[in-house]
Amino acid sequence: MLTWHYRLWDPHDVVAILVFALFMCRLVGAISIHSPEQSIIRSVQEDVFFSADVSCNGTPTVQWTFMSASVSRAIAAWRPGVFANVTADYDGRVELHDNGSMGLARLTLQDTGYYVLTITDDVGGSKDAGFVLKVNEVLYEDLQYLSVSALALGCLAGFLMLSMWLLNKAYSKIVACRRRKKMPENDETELQPL
């Protein structure tokens, strides 16, 4: 077993692996996918545009697949000028472009997930590109509620502080008054030595 391992990393094998890797790179490099934005955040009911620019030898076959923790489903497959298939679930919501881009309208929370663009060329080579979409709930009402509550709490706190201050003042006045009424001579005689 040890000798087999040793033989695997024989210089000849390393050269062979490198040549094979280079060959694969060239094969894969025949298809290129340029996508400016791969991580997108949108709100419910908004539209998203997965922008891509695809190039390969011959006419590409474009496929879009949706993946999330629980599902994986095909969205659409098309070949510019040849055919275009859209999965029933997405009918009327997707917009396909010759450069491989796809637009998706009226987003729902369930559209959050991973979108894979797969390009297949005439020779059978293929390449993928991934996009992450996060669809957020619209939170305007919550925010309004929160600001109103914050304002109400602020007013309450201010009112409480004012009442405390007034009470404190009134209390010290009463105490002072009482002391003066109870022992006016004592106060004066006591204060004089100081």
Ligand X SMILES: *[C@@H]1O[C@H](CO)[C@@H](O)[C@H](O)[C@H]1NC(C)=O
In the range 16-75, which residues lie near ligand X by CB under 6 A? 34, 36, 51-53
- Cβ closer to ligand X: 52 or 133? 52
| H/E run at residue 78 | strand 72-79
**From candidates 48, 62, 75, 77, binder to ligand X by CB under 6 A:** 77
Q: Does 97 bind ligand X (CB under 6 A)?
A: yes
Q: Shortest Cβ distance from residue 88 to ligand X (Å)?
A: 9
Residues 6+ apart with CB under 8 A from 89: 73
Binding mask 129-158 for ligand X (x = CB under 6 A): ------------------------------
Q: Are 116 and 130 within 8 A, CB to CB?
A: yes
Residue 122 to residue 58: CA distance in whole angstroms: 6
Torsion of CA 78, 84, 87, 93, to 10 degrees: 100
β-pairing, 126-136 vs 39-43, is parallel
Q: Shortest Cβ distance from residue 8 to ligand X (Å)?
A: 41
Closest contact distance (angstroms) between CB of 98 and ligand X is 7
What strands lie across the sheet with 48-55, from one edge to the other?
32-34, 48-55, 100-104, 94-96
- Residue choice 48, 96, 101, 127 for contact with ligand X (CB under 6 A): 101
| CA pair distance 128, 32, nearest whole angstrom | 9
Residue 11 or 36 with smaller CB distance to ligand X: 36
What is the closest distance, in whole angstroms, from the C-beta atom of residue 26 to ligand X in the complex? Answer: 24
Residues that bind ligand X in the complex, under the rule CB under 6 A: 34, 36, 51-53, 77, 85, 97, 99, 101
